[in-house]
Structure 1
Amino acid sequence: MQRHRPALRSSLLWLPALLGFGAAALAQAPAPPSADTLALSFDAARARMLDRSDKLAAARAAVDAKELQRQGLQGLGGPTVSISGLAYAYNANLNLDLDPLNQKLGQAGAMLPPSLQGFVSRLPIPQLPNSYTLNRHDTGANASVSAVWPLYLGGATDAVRGFVSAQTREAQADAEQAGHEVDTLLVQRYFSAQLAQRAALLRAQAERTIAQHDAAAQKMLAAGVISRVERLQAGAAYEEARRNARKAEDDAALAAVALARTVRAEGSVAPQTPLFILSTPVEPLGYFIDSALVRHPGLGKVAAKKSQAEQLHEGEEALRRPQVIAFGTRELKSGNADWVAGVGVRWSLYDSVDRNALSAASLKQIEQAERTDAQARSDIALLVERNWRALENARRQYLEMKVSVELAQEVLRLRTSGLREGTSTTLDLIDAETNQAKVLTERAQAANDYVQALAQLLESAGLSDSFSDYIARADVKVN
């Protein structure tokens, strides 16, 4: 290449703007959102999602259903008063056989004294019909009021109310968990869309730069200052840059669709809150573990399950105890109305169901819930520690990549100067351009890893709603 340097210098005089294009293009700001694009900050996107999320609406509906059920059973075990009425009509027929009576009448004279038998025999004795049908029909109405009041049911009603209340708390824990999950999902899609957009921009800018280098290489080949192999290498680099740009564009489009669906937007969404980093560590690990053991919805659900098991056990025990009820009923009519009132007692002395086995089963369910709670606390503490360490690793990785970015920029500067001086080739400059885009994308990815790890940490600690506070505290913005 030494003998080509003068020719190379002269052939590149027509490229005064090209050689410094790469670094300037990579620092170019993205275009402003179009008219049909919804520009949203993270807080605005979160408010929109919380208002329109079907998952949250379903969770709230489940809580409302259980709460209404709990309210509906608050009076369980109280008096029940009912009124009943009836109207009736009837027709009754009774067939009477009169043959035996006729026979008795015919034999009645033989039972008289002899002096009267002759007299009676001269009297005509009428004959009754062989049968006779009696008919009775009538209509009527009746109304009464009745009351039943369970005085003592062995605690069964309290167990039912307690069980439904525990189900309500379980639904509330599920709703809280759903809230944390949609917050984390929003963080994932919001900042991933921003990262994908940034990567697509860097890849597109690299493609445009390398395209101009490829065109320059073609002219240099025609001028005889580079070999055909170098020309093919430049063309292959351009084709790779095109493929990378198309893939990054597709990834950005898919990420934008996912974000728009998450916030229920009709068009596209332009994230306005940049990726961020807290250059100093967040709160210590113990802070997040303590918060998780108090606020994690999973522990609330396990506690609700344990309460349900306890109430089932109480219900089983209540069936062993006597039941006492008061009752009364009275006809609704003026005058001398019929009525009845009293107290009833019921106590099962023998039951075909094995109550001892059922009671033991409910105690095992309580033990299961206690064991589950202990395991959940251990698992949640481990999850929090894993997420906390992932956050710290992402923070350190981002800060340490500053040297890589500076190196890539310096290499690009040297390759640009070297191409002017004839000490570098076009392929060297293309490699430097590609490497800078790659390093910038990787550092943005490290920032996204930090944001996603922060969201995971806050979810595991039950602090997802404080994500915006960390945005406000961030001292590094990846614009």
Structure 2
Amino acid sequence: MAKQRVWKNYLVAALSSSVMMLSATTAFADSTELSLDDSIAMALQNNPSIKMAVKDQEKAGYGIDQAKAGKMPSLSLGTSGTHGDTTAGQVGDSFSTSLKLSMPLYTGGKLESTIDQAKINAESAQQGVVKAQEELRLDAANAYYTVLQSQNLVQVNEETVTSLEEHLKTVQAQYEVGTVAKADVLRSEVELANAKQNLTKAKNNYDVAVSSLNNIIGAPLATEHVYKDSLQYAPYDTSLDDSIAMALAKRPEIIQSQYNIAASKAGVEIAKSGNRPTVSMSGSQGWSGSDFPGDNKNWSVGVAANWNVFDSGLTNAQVKGAQAALDKAEEQDAQTRSSIELEVRQNYSSMQEAKERIDTSQVAVNKAEEDLSIAKVKYGAGAGTNLDVIDAQVALTQAKTNYTQALYDYNVNKAKVIKAVALQAGN
């Protein structure tokens, strides 16, 4: 019996260890490490916006095939049959069948310009993919930094609650010995309750931020991660003038704008083709008779030329309309360039402003920590008031919040500058 109990104990221990290992493995699987680069890579792979942009690019590629098909020969087969009275007054059948081949030789440049326009649109669609990638990089970075910010604010509020709990113990101890009034205890309890409410809000904001990030990167919304990066200052070394120059040279919107101008120029050529002659070649083989497909054969080969001498001003109106579209595309290009320069300047300025706030808010945190420490010592010695401690604690919490906000603003605006400058375009 003793041996059986020993073996049962071993079995229970082994099963318990297995359960613990399985639980640890499951917890690790549910909580994966995630860096900023990981987030961006997952977003680029999983987010629907990229897939939609790629489909637009594929559609534009098929547009080239459609345009090229206009220059290729076409073959058509047609047949008809009738049953009724013939010219001889008898009832009979009559069949007619034809096989026709046709091919354009010259269209006044219309087909060539249409093909050029389709190619330009395909190149523009490619830049649309790059644009979608850059926007998604920024969205993923913003979401990741928001998680880090929310995480830091949870920590700040937890520290505040812990500090106020310790202070409340001190106040209660002094109240019990009669050295402070009941009002000090009540005020400390109120401040602690408020701090706990702020902590609850901070935790909720963190949960929302995590879900938002998971939505962007294509992970289940409830997925928990261990975030490898932290909010910190990393300098951006490119000057404002160089950043603007890079943006005007590399931004996909600029490249798309140039493609729009080229496509509009091709549209002008397409419209002008209406004033030019067209030449086509055709050949046909026909059969006719009372038996299908017909005993009588005929064939023809020909070249036809056509020149629309007068069309009541239709072509002229089309040319003017195409030219107006070209003028609009050029104005849009100028507007796009101006908007991009403004975007770079605004984001760069906001980044520099946040950079300065990082330094000042860090100093404020150090001063507030020292002030709180002094206030607590004075209160414990009976030389300070409860209000001094509470005010010092509020100031420290605000200073830490400001420091976290400054780091967040810097990193987000830096990410906006990188997107505005298109430093990662095409990667």
Instruction: Answer whether TM exceeds 0.5 for this pair.
Output: yes
Q: Does residue 62 in structure 1 map to residue 17 in structure 2?
A: no
Segments of 5+ residues of structure 2 without an aligned counterpart are 1-26, 288-292
* From 433, 443, 464, the counterpart of 2:403: 443
* From 268, 277, 286, the counterpart of 2:224: 268
**DSSP 3-state at the match of 1:206:** helix
Change (3 A) 1:34 1:465: farther
Task: Confirm or deny: 8 A CA contact 1:275 1:448 kept in the other structure.
Answer: yes
**In structure 2, what is the equivalent of residue 235 of structure 1?**
189
Q: Does residue 314 in structure 1 map to residue 269 in structure 2?
A: yes
AA at the equivalent of 2:326: I
- Root-mean-square deviation (CA, aligned residues, Å) is 2.6
Task: Confirm or deny: 8 A CA contact 1:260 1:269 kept in the other structure.
Answer: no
> 2: CA distance between counterparts of 1:221 and 1:184?
54
AA at the equivalent of 1:70: I
TM-score, normalised on structure 1?
0.76
Shift of 1:335: 9.7
AA at the equivalent of 2:62: L
* From 162, 166, 169, the counterpart of 1:212: 166
Task: Confirm or deny: 8 A CA contact 2:170 2:380 kept in the other structure.
Answer: no
Q: Does residue 418 in structure 1 map to residue 411 in structure 2?
A: no
Shift of 1:355: 2.6
Deviations 1:420-446 (A, max 9, x none): 433233443343333323222221211
**In structure 2, what is the equivalent of residue 178 of structure 1?**
132
Segments of 5+ residues of structure 1 without an aligned counterpart are 1-32, 95-133, 468-479
Shift of 1:139: 4.3
**Aligned residues between the structures:** 394
Shift of 1:58: 0.7
Q: Does residue 253 in structure 1 map to residue 207 in structure 2?
A: yes
> 1: CA distance between counterparts of 2:205 and 2:245?
39
> 1: CA distance between counterparts of 2:111 and 2:160?
73
> 2: CA distance between counterparts of 1:404 and 1:349?
83
* From 42, 54, 58, the counterpart of 2:36: 42
Shift of 1:277: 1.1
Task: Confirm or deny: 8 A CA contact 2:250 2:425 kept in the other structure.
Answer: no
**In structure 2, what is the equivalent of residue 395 of structure 1?**
355
AA at the equivalent of 2:177: A
Change (3 A) 1:352 1:48: same
Change (3 A) 1:442 1:408: same
> 2: CA distance between counterparts of 1:427 and 1:302?
62
Change (3 A) 1:174 1:351: same
Task: Confirm or deny: 8 A CA contact 1:184 1:464 kept in the other structure.
Answer: no
Shift of 1:48: 1.1
Shift of 1:235: 2.2
* From 391, 400, 419, the counterpart of 1:431: 391
Deviations 1:264-308 (A, max 9, x none): 222233321112212x55111122111111111221222222222
**DSSP 3-state at the match of 2:363:** helix
Shift of 1:318: 0.3
Q: Does residue 381 in structure 1 map to residue 336 in structure 2?
A: no
Task: Confirm or deny: 8 A CA contact 1:77 1:150 kept in the other structure.
Answer: yes
> 2: CA distance between counterparts of 1:248 and 1:34?
25
Task: Confirm or deny: 8 A CA contact 2:85 2:91 kept in the other structure.
Answer: yes
Task: Confirm or deny: 8 A CA contact 2:261 2:330 kept in the other structure.
Answer: yes
> 2: CA distance between counterparts of 1:466 and 1:154?
38
AA at the equivalent of 2:53: A
Q: Does residue 81 in structure 1 map to residue 37 in structure 2?
A: no
**In structure 1, what is the equivalent of residue 13 of structure 2?**
none
Task: Confirm or deny: 8 A CA contact 1:293 1:377 kept in the other structure.
Answer: yes
Whichever of the two has the greater Rg, that structure is: 1
AA at the equivalent of 2:360: E
* From 280, 291, 300, the counterpart of 1:340: 300
Task: Confirm or deny: 8 A CA contact 1:259 1:269 kept in the other structure.
Answer: no
AA at the equivalent of 2:84: N
* From 244, 256, 278, the counterpart of 1:323: 278
Task: Confirm or deny: 8 A CA contact 2:78 2:98 kept in the other structure.
Answer: yes
TM-score, normalised on structure 2?
0.85
> 2: CA distance between counterparts of 1:49 and 1:263?
4
Query: Which moved further from structure 2: 170-179 or 46-55?
Result: 170-179
Task: Confirm or deny: 8 A CA contact 2:124 2:255 kept in the other structure.
Answer: yes
> 1: CA distance between counterparts of 2:229 and 2:398?
23
**DSSP 3-state at the match of 1:401:** helix
AA at the equivalent of 1:272: K
Shift of 1:34: 6.4
> 1: CA distance between counterparts of 2:294 and 2:393?
105
**In structure 2, what is the equivalent of residue 18 of structure 1?**
none
**In structure 2, what is the equivalent of residue 288 of structure 1?**
243
Shift of 1:51: 0.7
Question: What are the equivalent positions in structure 2 for 1:129-140 lying under 5 Å apart?
Answer: 135-139=89-93
Change (3 A) 1:466 1:455: farther
